[in-house]
Amino acid sequence: MVRTGMDDVSVVVAGAGQAGLSSAFHLRRLGLVPGRDFVVLDHAPRPGGAWQFRWPTLTYGRVHGMHSLPGMELTGADPGRPSSEVIGGYFADYERAFGLQVRRPVHVRSVQEAGDGRLRVETSRGAWTTRALINATGTWDRPFRPRYPGGEDFLGRQLHTADYPGPHSDAFTDKHVVVIGGGTSAVQHLLEIAEVAAGTAWVTRREPVFREGPFTEDQGRAAVALVAERVRHGLPPRSVVSVTGLPMTEAMREARERGVLARQPMFERILPDGVEWSDGRRMRADTLLWATGFRPAVGHLAPLRLREPGGGIRLDGTRVAADPRVHLVGYGPSASTVGAGRAGRAAAREVLRLLDGTPTARPLRAVEGTPGEPEHGSGRSSEGVAATEFRPR
């Protein structure tokens, strides 16, 4: 049912993935009432955040580093079930258990000044005015696919990780497939597709760096700190995997021995029936799979003019430096299941200080430092997306 008129709340939470639900939990814990003091808006058709859109072969057992939401552990899940089902069900139970009253599907179209110090949140189901916004819209809705000469003339199929159907598809079976991207999703796709395709090739812009052995807590902190430093300076966030490297697994070693995991440099142009490199070498392709990552879905914030000259949104913790009414969770250094949870807690505390009119304190360091071992099985990590998972110690 479409709402008419405008509602006024203290806080709007945009997005009901890991970051949004964590924020809502902590707002409720701090005394705000869901549906009265704050509202959670989610554009997805059902609970589960971006997880609900993951391909069926990404089973829960392959999702390393999925961190539970605050206040409710995820236990006893069947590792053989698709992660979309397991995590979707868990999020649904979580919303019910804490009475978060998530409204969906609601598409946030724009956030702008209301004229009285408040923000006006325009959506597909009416408008809300609010004193604060916790933006948790993630990246899944903004798949990034670079343009290459000849792309519009390609006669085969072009897919992105966002619409990857799994390996058992007519886009891959008995086809010649080129997988583009240097992150974990690209490698996962490549290893699956190689089992059914007539031939595969893996191309990346940069030479991949494979990491052997355990990843220490200090290395994890240092990696996240590099991403946080960019965000503090108003630069677009980069992926944590771009500085940690790819963890070498037994399956990857076997694929490398078979010649499947053999990286080639990025091609120069796309032909109607394949790709061509700068030296004139050509390769046939029926399908191009772009595992080239995602960008933050923050276009609805454009009316507030939050972007810095460097192209990103400068943050102090989770708080937007240019507008203390706006917090970004699940952005940059907090774009992990652990980081999103901690960012939700920090954002809720900062928002409560804003509502109380008390001076804003320095954000918790835990928002930017996510100790532990990075995990790359979430299906979201790939070249250009800040989504590396971290397992707490």
Q: Which of 121, 100, 83 is nearest to 6 (CA)?
A: 121
How far apart CA 138 and CA 124 sit, in angstroms, is: 19
Average pLDDT score over residue span 256-276: 95
Q: Considering the entire predicted model, what is its pTM? A: 0.83
Tell me the pLDDT tens digit for each residue of 291-324: 999 999 999 999 999 999 888 999 998 999 999 9
- More reliable by pLDDT, 34 or 235: 34
Tell me the pLDDT tens digit for each residue of 46-75: 999 999 999 888 999 877 667 889 999 998
Whether the pLDDT of residue 288 is over 90: the answer is yes
What pLDDT, on a 0 to 100 scale, did the predictor assign at position 228? 72
Whether the pLDDT of residue 287 is over 80: the answer is yes
Tell me the pLDDT tens digit for each residue of 133-144: 999 999 999 999
328 strand-pairing partners: 135
- More reliable by pLDDT, 385 or 201: 201
- More reliable by pLDDT, 168 or 379: 168
Tell me the pLDDT tens digit for each residue of 186-233: 999 999 999 999 999 999 998 887 776 655 556 556 666 666 777 776
Q: Confidence band (pLDDT; 50, 70, 90) for 384?
A: very low
What pLDDT, on a 0 to 100 scale, did the predictor assign at position 303? 97
Cβ atoms within 10 Å, residue 144? 18
Q: Are 351 and 342 in contact (CB under 8 A)?
A: no
Average pLDDT score over residue span 348-361: 82
What pLDDT, on a 0 to 100 scale, did the predictor assign at position 104? 95
pLDDT, the chain, mean: 84
How far apart CA 17 and CA 42 sit, in angstroms, is: 8
What pLDDT, on a 0 to 100 scale, did the predictor assign at position 214? 59
Q: Are 178 and 285 in contact (CB under 8 A)?
A: yes
What pLDDT, on a 0 to 100 scale, did the predictor assign at position 220? 59
Q: Angle at the Cα of 285 (from 282 to 291), degrees rounded to 5?
A: 105
What pLDDT, on a 0 to 100 scale, did the predictor assign at position 165? 93
108 strand-pairing partners: 123
- More reliable by pLDDT, 373 or 182: 182
Tell me the pLDDT tens digit for each residue of 106-154: 999 999 999 889 999 999 999 999 999 999 999 999 999 999 999 999 9
Q: Which of 146, 152, 108, 127 is nearest to 7 (CA)?
A: 127
- The set of residues, in sequence order, having a beta carbon less than 8 Å from that of 363 and lying 6+ positions away, is 316, 317, 318, 319, 346, 350
**Amino acid at the residue 223:** A
Q: How far is residue 61 from each of residues 87, 152, 255, 379, measured CA to CA in Å? A: 12, 38, 20, 12
Crossing angle of the two packed helices 250-258 and 184-193, in degrees rounded to 10:
60
Q: How far is residue 47 from each of residues 37, 167, 198, measured CA to CA in Å? A: 22, 25, 37
What pLDDT, on a 0 to 100 scale, did the predictor assign at position 217? 59
Q: Confidence band (pLDDT; 50, 70, 90) for 386?
A: very low
Q: Which two tokens stand for residue 366?
A: 């835990």
Whether the pLDDT of residue 375 is over 60: the answer is no
Whether the pLDDT of residue 371 is over 70: the answer is no
